[in-house]
Chain A
């Protein structure tokens, strides 16, 4: 069974540009989460989808971040416009219950 996949694995963009990250959860998992780890800090929760609905978006930093999960399958996280402090590793996780399985992450560098 395929695990959580994320695309791209790396992204380098300039400040002010737009970047869209994609996450494909494990098939059948209704719960999808986005997390972020910035340099030297712990992994922080961003938001939680149950199917296509946002269950909890309390961790979203500001309105430059937009997450969608149309159809309740894959999810996208768009950052527009990107700022320097958005650099970090963005992880996606999915679960069918209490255990969350993490994807490999997207390493974002904003210059």
Chain B
């Protein structure tokens, strides 16, 4: 079992709709959870971080964490073509600064 699992996609969503990206992780001791966006040939760009159960909203993005189910998701409202990218779920086991475990990423395509 992979430590961080994501559906590789591609996930195709019409412009203006809600895109829902999901991620599960295996280590119950995980403390910090991140969503990175990566455009083709570019570096990962942090878009959301979440540390406690529940929802965290930032603009059009909402991260949801459920530690009991070991599940973290990212919702993108009012999807735009510029949101088309690979979204990487990443998990940090310790509460302090330490290595991040990445999922393989979900390719999201927003169709006009």
Q: How far is the CA of A102 from the CA of B83 in the complex (A)?
A: 19
A-B pair count, CB < 8 Å, reads: 57
Verify if B44 is at the interface (C-beta below 8 Å from A). yes
Q: A42-B104, A42-B105, A43-B88 are in contact. Are A102 and B44 (CB under 8 A)?
A: yes
Verify if A87 is at the interface (C-beta below 8 Å from B). no
Verify if B97 is at the interface (C-beta below 8 Å from A). yes
Interface residues on A, range: 20 to 34
Nearest CB of A to B5, in Å: 10
Interface size on B, residues (CB 8 A): 24
Q: Which of B's residues lie within 8 Å of A, judged by CB?
A: 4, 32, 34, 36, 42-46, 49, 51, 88, 92, 95-105
What are 18 A-B residue pairs whose CB atoms fall within 8 Å in the complex? A33-B99, A41-B104, A42-B4, A42-B88, A42-B102, A43-B102, A48-B99, A50-B97, A55-B98, A56-B98, A58-B99, A59-B99, A91-B44, A97-B97, A100-B34, A102-B36, A102-B46, A103-B43
Q: Which of A's residues lie within 8 Å of B, judged by CB?
A: 31, 33, 35, 41-45, 48, 50, 55-56, 58-59, 91, 93, 95, 97-105
